[in-house]
Amino acid sequence: MAKPAFAERAGEVEIKLALPARWAADPAALVARIAAVPALARRKATQQAVHSVYYDTPTQALRQQRATLRLRRVGADRGAQWLQTLKTAGRCDSALSQRGEWELPVAGPALELGQFADTPWPALDPEGVLAAALEPCFATDFERTRWTLRVPGGGRVEVALDIGRIVAQECQAPIAELELELLEGPPAALFALARRIARSTPLLPLAASKAERGFALRRQAGSGPEAMSARPVALPSGLSLRAIARQVLGEAFLQFSTNLHALQQAWAPDAPELLHQARVGWRRFRSLHRLLRPGLPALPPWAPLGPLLAALGALRDLDVARLDTLPPLAQDFVADAAQRRRAWQDLQAALEQAAQQALEAVHQALQAPAVGQVLLAWVEWLETLDGPLVDAAAAPPLPEPKPARRWLRRRTRDLAKRLDGALAEAAHGGMDAQHRARILAKRLRYASEAFAALLPGRERRRHAQALAWQNRLGATRDTVQAALLAGQHGAAPELVAFLRGVAAGRKHR
């Protein structure tokens, strides 16, 4: 008998959406909450226990070839079914993933690689070397609740709510996510349903698969979630402006959303790099979009992100002050004076408490459905830049600048000229003029890095000189901010005066 959810397929198209990690602590309440979403209410659901083991070689040769091998048990006791699955990565750099998938039943808890003869497996392992070296890497255990429904436009979608955990050696991470898989129809059907769910449910687009998160958990070895930094993007010659925008904006958005998801799971103020990289991803996305905007369709508005961005900024200021700016100044202020030492310790304790409260504010902001709605709209917008989701009846796209490379060079040079003018003004102006120059320097930095393959080397070297100035001004700004925070959190007047003096001295260097 056919099994729609676990049938053999040559590919899958799905959207992954992360739910607040704390919800995984009460699975029954989470199922009830999602079942009450208007798009799913009155739909019949089925539930299955799912246990999966992921295999690779000790050197993770499959992962390096962007392939995943999984052995899965669906159900429990005598009625359980065993399935082996091979997945190959296609386009999976966003919450909308499109990849190859071949899934076949097996007799029991052992791989039967011979059944993969008509899949990419022989090309992945032509000599059988990988098969001989395979070993279990990590496991997932979750309860899956499934709904299948039709959506307007003729699409048919399976919604799977997975609640459980990933286990890699001694480490664990929660699973609380929705997967919307396309069974029939265009990919736009997935977004139509995701938008309906996002109206009442806080969620985050999730690009990383369970396999990717399992390998990351194995690498972490209890050290906490990894922060995602900016990564270089390949930009072959001849790409259209929209193709370039899809690559560079997609990578910046991935940095932003991936670190937000990891931050959502961090409950102590000990994840400053997650926070930092989330904010860098946001600034890169906004800055690069600003440069590319004249040649792109309108981006959905980001105003609903305001409370989240404010919460991230407040927590980042506290992190920089308590972890970076203040520690090197401690001895200069304390100077073995007991009273000063107590004043310094009191300030540190106040900032630690404030950071914990600020982290809670970030988590509260992430639970606003409006955040997920904006981020989901941006995922769809990014996908439409390449054209696969565009409705044929929609308005025709804007004419593209040609050639894209020359247009981008001109835009970047204009930005560099603006920075030159701002630097000249900042040399004789106050902190406001310096702040404007610093913002322009950051924007030039992001553009220079993103479009490095399209810019002459001499221009990139000139950009680097301006960016060195930005780093020096950043240190001054951090000291000013630390003095403000000290005053806001009741630090001793003598300590506040000391920090203001340090900041004033750095302004005039």
Residue 336, phi-psi category: left (phi > 0), alpha (psi -120 to 50), beta (remainder): left
Residue 468 vs residues 281, 474, 496: alpha-carbon distances, Å: 20, 10, 29
Full-model pTM: 0.90
- pLDDT above 60: residue 9: no
- Return phi, psi of residue 67, to 5°: -125, 155
Mean per-residue pLDDT, 278-300: 95
Count of positions (residues) in the chain:
509
Q: Quote the pLDDT of residue 1.
A: 30
- Kindly state the greatest CA–CA separation across the chain: 80
Q: Quote the pLDDT of residue 105.
A: 95
Q: Quote the pLDDT of residue 5.
A: 34
For 321-333, the pLDDT digits (tens) are 999 999 999 999 9
307 cis-preceded (ω within 30 degrees of 0): no
CA atoms of 388 and 397, how far apart (whole Å): 13
- pLDDT above 50: residue 159: yes
Q: Quote the pLDDT of residue 275.
A: 93
Q: Quote the pLDDT of residue 40.
A: 93
Report yes or no: 218 and 167 within 8 Å, Cβ to Cβ: no
Residue 462, phi-psi category: left (phi > 0), alpha (psi -120 to 50), beta (remainder): alpha
- pLDDT above 50: residue 3: no
Handedness of CA 433, 434, 437, 442 (dihedral sign): negative
| In the chain, % of residues over pLDDT 70 | 90
For 89-147, the pLDDT digits (tens) are 766 567 888 888 999 999 999 999 999 999 999 999 999 999 999 999 999 999 999 99
Q: Quote the pLDDT of residue 2.
A: 35
Beta carbons within 10 angstroms of residue 289's beta carbon: 18
* Per-residue confidence band for 235, with pLDDT thresholds at 50, 70 and 90: confident
CA atoms of 117 and 123, how far apart (whole Å): 10
Q: Quote the pLDDT of residue 298.
A: 94
- pLDDT above 50: residue 220: yes
CA atoms of 103 and 74, how far apart (whole Å): 13
- pLDDT above 60: residue 10: no
- Return phi, psi of residue 223, to 5°: -85, 0
For 17-69, the pLDDT digits (tens) are 999 988 888 999 999 999 999 999 989 999 999 999 999 999 999 999 999 99
Q: Quote the pLDDT of residue 223.
A: 67
Q: Quote the pLDDT of residue 170.
A: 85
Residue 18 CA to its chain's centroid (Å) = 11
Please give the DSSP secondary-structure letter assigned to residue 24.
G
CA atoms of 306 and 395, how far apart (whole Å): 30
Mean per-residue pLDDT, 162-178: 93
- pLDDT above 80: residue 77: no
- pLDDT above 70: residue 240: yes
* Per-residue confidence band for 6, with pLDDT thresholds at 50, 70 and 90: very low
Average pLDDT, the chain: 87
Report yes or no: 366 and 308 within 8 Å, Cβ to Cβ: yes
- Return phi, psi of residue 90, to 5°: -105, -110
* Per-residue confidence band for 466, with pLDDT thresholds at 50, 70 and 90: low
DSSP 3-state of 301: coil
Tell me how far apart the terminal alpha carbons of the chain are, to the nearest angstrom: 77
- pLDDT above 90: residue 467: no
Mean per-residue pLDDT, 440-462: 85
CA atoms of 61 and 64, how far apart (whole Å): 5
Least confident of 229-233, 323-327, 330-334, 386-390: 386-390
- pLDDT above 60: residue 289: yes
